[in-house]
Structures are given as C-alpha cells and as structure tokens.
Amino acid sequence: MTTTELINQIRKKKSFLCIGLDVDLNKIPQHLLKEEDPIFAFNKAIIDATHHLCVAYKPNTAFYEAYGLKGWKALEKTIKYLNEKYPEIFTIADAKRGDIGNTSTMYAQAFFEDLAFDSVTVAPYMGKDSVEPFLAFKNKHTILLALTSNAGAFDFQTKTVEGKELYKQVLDTSKTWENAENLMYVVGATKAEYLAEIRNIIPDSFLLVPGVGAQGGNLQDVCKYGMSENVGLLINSSRGIIYASSGEDFAAAAASKAEALQKEMAVELG
Ligand SMILES: O=C(O)c1cc(=O)[nH]c(=O)n1[C@@H]1O[C@H](COP(=O)(O)O)[C@@H](O)[C@H]1O
C-alpha cells in the first residue's frame, strides 16, 4: 500500500487507529477455546467488528510464535483474511527484526512476500546495511524503532552520544539511507513531550505510536505535538481494545472501545 492510499483511508474513515492483535489464549473468551483455531476465530471476530473504525491492524508476532506452528498458521490465516476481505487496511507485522544484510533480506521476504504484510517493525541498532534490505521493497514500509514506549527507552535511546541523543541520531542517519521514503518510525505515546522535536527532524514521516490505553499514553498530547500536515500518525491500542470483555460480547465490546478512540481522532482531524 502506498502512503497516499493510507492517508486517503485516514481522511475517509476519520480515523488513524491501529488495533493491535496481541492474542493471548489465557485472555480470550474461554468459549473460543473449543474452536479448531481459537486465535484466528478471535481475530476474525475482532476484525469484522472493528474494521470500519480503524485503518490498520498490528499483530505482534511474539503472540503467535509463542504457540509454535499453530500460532504461525493463525498469523498466516489472519493476514490472508485481512488482505482478501479488507484490502484497504494497512497491515503491520510487529516483529522488531534486523540483522546482517543477507539475513535481513530473508526477514523482509518472510513478511513482505510470503505473508504479504504492508510493513514490518525493525530495530535500528545494527545500522544501515541491516535496514536497507527492508527498504528495497517497493510500496512496503519499514517502521524503525526510534523512541519506544517502555521505561527502558531511557537506558540507551535518550543517552547523548557525540552531542546528540541516540534516538535523534537514528532519525537523522536513517534519513540518508537508500529508499528512505519507505521509512516510518515508532515513537511511544508515553513519550509525547518529545514529539515536537521529533517532528523538527522528520516533519512528514508516519509515526506508529503505541502506548495509549494500557500503558497510559494520552491521545490528545500525541496529536498536539505529533500530527503532521498529512496526519502522519497511526495510534495503536492492543489490550485496551481486544480484551474489553472476556464474555460472549467480546467483539462488540472491542468495537465500542475502538469507536471511543475513533471519535477522539475525528475531533483531532477536524
Ligand atoms: O513496535 C511496537 O509496536 C511497540 C513499540 C513500543 O515502543 N512500545 C510498544 O508497546 N509496542 C508494541 O505495541 C503494543 C502495545 O500494546 P498495548 O500496551 O496492549 O496497547 C505491543 O504489541 C507492543 O509490543
């Protein structure tokens, strides 16, 4: 999907909501466990109930890898379902990959070609030759970790090295890489006070912003400092939406949480 198509969807739906499909079998409604594929059954119900309220879904691969082959199969079925039934939706494989060049190429093939995701999250710390193999894929997006939502972000990312914070070096340096137009960045909603400075460095890039809801980030603050001329935001919520209820009404309850966020976003979009 192109960035222009994503922006058009945002304007049409008045939403820049990304729903995180972080499926934990201990948290999903227990009646689904008798289904042949409980993970896919859960995702399908959530997607069917919420697709009109969001523009993106983000399965975090950890929640699928944890269940071995059956988890990976559920991930395959989920992305196939999204691509066939809701092709207008932007898809993010939250895999946080990155390795030496030839290995990164295989990761990129796995997520962009085999699974056919629109984007994948990538860690920047192995540098240019670990990220450029992802950037080489046309109309696919590499979402680089810039300033993450967790407390550990202060261990390295905000440390000053040669006069500049490390996350700013990631932003500045990555802009010089080949096919840098295919980059997006992760900035945690819990770090909203950094967004104005981040926008000075990357005025137009899309930001994936996790951390509203369960982690305590605030949507209005993110929009105030992080919104660009072309919106430039995908705000993610996972647990706060998908585990709104553990009863038979789980999909409707998720839709109502998603709608509350979408309404706040519509206000921000004006
Ligand atoms: O790359 C991510 O999506 C990510 C980066 C980050 O800095 N913080 C963060 O929480 N995430 C992911 O975003 C999701 C947040 O989930 P909730 O806290 O349940 O909304 C999880 O899948 C995290 O792995």
Cα separation, 198 vs 132, whole angstroms = 22
Confidence of residue 257 (pLDDT cuts 50, 70, 90): very high
pLDDT at 57: 99
Which of 234, 238, 242 maximizes ligand 1 atoms within 8 Å of its Cβ, making it the mutation to test the pocket?
238
Protein fold of 3-263: TIM Barrel (3.20.20)
Average per-residue pLDDT for the chain? 97
Cα separation, 231 vs 256, whole angstroms = 23
Please give the C-alpha separations between residue 52 and each of 60, 125, 154, 240, 241, in angstroms, as whole numbers.
21, 36, 36, 18, 14
CB 42 within 8 A of CB 243: no
Q: Tell me whether strands 90-97 and 56-58 are parallel, antiparallel or unpaired.
A: parallel
* CA 46 and chain centroid, separation: 16
CB 244 within 8 A of CB 260: no
Q: How many CB atoms lie within 10 A of CB 110?
A: 16
**Whether the predicted interface score ipTM is above 0.85:** yes
Q: Computed from CA positions of residues 135, 119, 27, 84, in that sequence, does the dihedral angle turn out positive or negative? A: negative
Residue ID of nearest Cα to ligand 1 atom 12: 210
Residue with tokens 């706040």: 264
Question: Given a cut of 90, is residue 214 above it in pLDDT?
Answer: no
Domain boundaries, the chain: 3-263
Decide whether any atom of ligand 1 lies within 6 Å of the 237 Cβ.
yes
Q: How many CB atoms lie within 10 A of CB 196?
A: 11
CB 184 within 8 A of CB 207: yes
Please give the C-alpha separations between residue 8 and each of 4, 237, 247, in angstroms, as whole numbers.
6, 21, 35
Please give the C-alpha separations between residue 45 and each of 96, 214, 249, in angstroms, as whole numbers.
26, 21, 10
> 103 or 216, which is more confident?
103
Judge if pTM exceeds 0.95.
Answer: yes
pLDDT at 9: 98
Catalytic residues: 96
Confidence of residue 213 (pLDDT cuts 50, 70, 90): confident
Which of 17, 186, 191 maximizes ligand 1 atoms within 8 Å of its Cβ, making it the mutation to test the pocket?
186
Residue ID of nearest Cα to ligand 1 atom 8: 149
